[in-house]
Amino acid sequence: MKPFYWAYRSLSKDNLKFIDELPEHAEIRDESDIIHLSHALSVFFRSQRIEPFHSSQYPLLMKGSNDHASYLEMARSAVMSRADALADILALPKGVYLFGHNHLQFIWSMKTDCL
């Protein structure tokens, strides 16, 4: 916790105010597409914790014969096996969703008409 405390104490009042006023979600739009931006996946995706998407699990998952491609398939299967996760995804408006915070890089696309 010391690094967090140090970072917080090192920011000016103006910096803290700026960070505090940042929106939870932003959108970039053009004529037909929307890109949804957020730091945390939870802004878009309200399902309970899905283990492969948490960075605390990644070192354990990568031990042994697992590689990144295997991890991505495991993560996809974990989502596809959860009715609550699929309901969250299907409820999202059409668009591209970019988020961080889980510290695991992946790309996943889904055509909702193929379910």
| Residue 15 covered by a domain | no
pLDDT of residue 72: 78
Domain membership of residue 62 (yes or no) is yes
pLDDT given at position 30 = 87
Pair type for strands 96-100 and 34-40: parallel
pLDDT on residue 15: 92
For residue range 39-81, list pLDDT tens digits in order. Answer: 777 777 777 677 766 667 667 766 766 677 777 788 788 888 8
Predicted confidence at residue 13, as pLDDT, reads 92
Asked whether residue 33 carries a pLDDT value surpassing 60, the answer given is: yes
Helical pair 83-91 and 68-80, crossing angle rounded to 10 deg: 90
Phi-psi region at 64: left, alpha or beta (left = phi > 0; alpha = psi -120 to 50): left
* 5, part of any domain: no
* Overall pTM > 0.75: no
- What is the Cα–Cα distance from 73 to 87, expressed in whole angstroms? 20
Give a yes or no: residue 17 inside a domain. Answer: no
Print the domain residue range for 39: 24-114
Nearest to 105 by CA among 60, 69, 51: 69
Hey, what are 17's tokens? 């105010």
Question: Would 96 be classed as within a structural domain?
Answer: yes
Indicate whether 56 belongs to any domain: yes
pLDDT of residue 115 exceeding 60, the answer is: no
**How many domains is the chain built from?**
1
User: Does the residue 107 lie in any domain?
Assistant: yes
Where does the pLDDT of residue 31 fall: very low under 50, low under 70, confident under 90, or very high at 90 and above? confident
Assigned domain for 79 exists: yes
* Burial tier of 111 (Cβ tally within 10 Å: 0-12, 13-18, 19+): exposed
β pairing state of 34-40 and 26-29:
antiparallel
